[in-house]
Structure 1
């Protein structure tokens, strides 16, 4: 599903250059649930941005579902993101003046789906995450856990090949974090490929494989015995 080969990325900082990724080799098979860990400055955010087509490596290759991701203009990148990827963010990134239903339907609007069809699909995904009764509520009327469930429904609505979750539990309390991870585990159980960036060890062990980054290199890549989230609630 994902094949990263000898990926390098540097950023200019004034007259200096900061070498952030220093030769990353990394692959993810279809249906895997993988966590990416690392301290601040390890390169995990840069790697996630490249995986999400929000940035591009200087050298190396990135192949996603058989498609080489390289030299994309913004329109091409947006099209590929919409086709291949769903995003879940720590800060939810919901539109404050739109209902939960409208937030979930938004990616489908950009896919050109007719209004009736996209509303039906959005409602189906809200039902999937247990929020059908909250479809008409604005984000400020929802709890943190509910907001993240709306964000997950939105990420799933366009039927992406891969979900990229950037600190999906970072703004939540422990109980709510585990409930969100239970939902992510259920989605993975259905066959969806998911990458979770986290700095929390307990959250990482709710995935099936932990990749540790340090100073722009993968220092460890280990399958783990998955802990089911609701066993900890």
Structure 2
């Protein structure tokens, strides 16, 4: 599903250059659930931006579902993001003046899906995350956990190949974090490929594989025994 070979990325600031990714080799098979960990400056955010087609490497290749991601203009990059990827963010990134239903339907709008089908699909995914009764509510009327559930429903609405989650529990308390991870694990159980960037060790162990970055290189890539969030949810 994802194949990265010899990935390098540098940022230039005046006469100085910061080499952030230093030859990353990384593959993710369809249906995997992988966490990416690393301290600030390790390169995990840069790697996520490249995986999300928000930035491009200086050297190396990135292949997503058999498609080489390279030299894309913004229009094509946006189309690929909408086709292949669903995003879940720490800060939810919901549109404040739109209802939960309208937020979930937004990716389908950009795909040109007819309004009645958009509404039907958006409601289906709100039901999936347990928020059908909150469809008409605005984000400021929702709790943090509910906002993240809306964001997950939105990420799923266009049926992406891969979900990319950037610190999805970072703004949530422990109980709510485990509830959200239980939902994400269930989505993975259905076969969706999921990558999670996190700095929380307990969250990382709720995935099936942990990739550790340090100073722009992968220092460890290990399959782990997955901790089911349900068993921890109310501890």
TM range, normalised to the smaller chain? over 0.9
Tell me, in whole angstroms, the C-alpha distance in 2 between the residues paired with 1:14 and 1:174. Answer: 42
State how 1:1-233 maps to structure 2 within 5 Å: 1-233=1-233
Cα offset, 1:194, TM superposition: 0.1
Task: Quote the offset at 1:121 in angstroms.
Answer: 0.2
Q: How far off is 1:13 after superposition?
A: 1.6
Taking the aligned partners of 1:167 and 1:182, their CA distance within structure 2 comes to: 15
- The separation in 2 between residues aligned to 1:147 and 1:155, in whole angstroms, is 12
Cα distance, 1:125 vs. partner? 0.1
Instruction: Tell me how large the CA RMSD over aligned residues is.
Output: 0.3
Q: Distance in 2 between matches of 1:124 and 1:207?
A: 26
**Which blocks of at least 5 consecutive residues in structure 1 are unaligned?**
none
TM-score, normalized by length of structure 1? 1.00
Distance 1:160 1:48 in 2: 16
Question: The residue matched to 1:11 in structure 2 has which SS?
Answer: strand
**Aligned equivalents of 2:142 and 2:14: distance in 1?**
43
Task: Give unpaired runs (5+ residues) of structure 2.
Answer: none
Shift of 1:229: 0.4
How far 1:81 moved relative to its partner?
A: 0.3
Corresponding residue pairs, total: 233
Distance, in Å, in 1 between the alignment partners of 2:117 and 2:210 is 38
* SS, match of residue 53 in structure 2: coil
Query: In 2, distance between residues paired with 1:195 and 1:102?
Result: 25
State the alpha-carbon separation in 2 of the partners of residues 199 and 85 from structure 1: 22
